[in-house]
Amino acid sequence: MRRAGIAETIIGIFILVLLAGVAGGIYIVQSRFDPDLFTLTAQKDSAGRKNSLPSPSSAPVPAFLPEDLIPFGPEETFDSETLSDKIDGKAELYLSSGFVKLSTRRFALKTDPKSWMELYIYEMGNQTNAFSVYSVQKRQDSKPVELGVSAYATADALFFADGPKYFEIISASKDLAEDMTALARNLVEAEPKYAGKQTESSLFPAGSLDESSISLHLSDVFGFSGLDRVYTAGYYTGAARVTAFISQRENSEEAADLAAAYGRFLLDNGGSDIGEVPNAPDSKVYKVFDTYEVVMHRGKFFAGAHEADDMESAVEVASRIYSKLGEAGQ
């Protein structure tokens, strides 16, 4: 067997030294790892949207921006074709509710660029559509915010509807509540002044009403394909919670026909007719398995109580709504 020559031995030693140097370099780099320098370029916010980390922007500062915030990145816009690129998984809700356009932009604290937030402005075509997408997505852990419009906040986000627009402010930190509120107030002040509550919202009797629960459902309400444009609200009667509903129809005939059709739907799905609400001749009470449903109409309004745990609570809430409709001239 031939022995390795001097040249081959030197080359082998050189390769070993080179490999040792590479390994040492890797060890040194790892020991000095700075996570701020190796951050992922894509994140997801609290609502599951895909986001890129912001970068400073030289674009003009919007007039509504509080003094302690600066723009981070340009404004982006999305239409019905590209909306899912921004809010993958939730686009259908907006598209089915009159969506027109989404504009987004990021802002950060002047003193700490890592503390940033993203503003979403959904143009929904009209006030009804905007309130619907606002209300049906309300988080369970939310708290109301006084902005003069329908608004609530969570630990790291703020949501409100103003006229035909729905706004979301999503922050990267739970320490930006005051800054999000300041931004929201400026946005509300910058918008035109719109009419107050929708008609149905004002017809829910005040006593034991959870005002923050008022929501507007635009289609397939309660699983019935013929039921749309329905406002719901939660009531507390003792330990029970009752979901009341009101829907303004085109005329009294449509309201009566809808009440009859929904009643048939309940009967077809295991329900039984067990009477009516006292002093409410255009009403019926149904028992559907272990819950109670009240269906009634008065004037051009279709109304009632949905999936109440006990009949007494359902009838009591429905009776109050029937009286309120009478006071309103229906």
Q: What is the pLDDT of residues 20-64, one digit of tens each?
A: 665 555 544 444 434 333 233 334 444 444 444 445 555 678 899
Q: Which runs of E-coded beta strand occur in the chain?
A: 42-44, 50-52, 69-71, 76-78, 101-109, 116-123, 143-144, 150-154, 157-162, 165-171, 209-217, 230-237, 240-248, 271-275, 283-288, 291-298, 301-308
CA 206 – CA 204 distance, rounded (Å): 6
Does 315 have pLDDT greater than 90? Answer: yes
Please give the mean pLDDT across all residues of the chain: 85
* Whole-number pLDDT of residue 34: 40
Report all structural domains of the chain as residue ranges with CATH numbers, in order of start.
Answer: 42-190 (3.40.1000), 199-327 (3.40.1000)
Q: What is the pLDDT of residues 255-302, one digit of tens each?
A: 999 999 999 999 999 999 999 999 999 999 999 999 999 999 999 999
The region of weakest confidence among 18-27, 48-57, 87-96, 316-325 is 48-57
Calculate ∠ Cα 240-244-245, nearest 5°. 165
Q: What is the pLDDT of residues 106-134, one digit of tens each?
A: 999 999 989 999 999 999 999 999 999 99
Where is pLDDT greater, at 4 or 290?
A: 290
Q: How confident is the model at residue 89 (pLDDT cuts 50, 70, 90)?
A: confident
DSSP 66: -
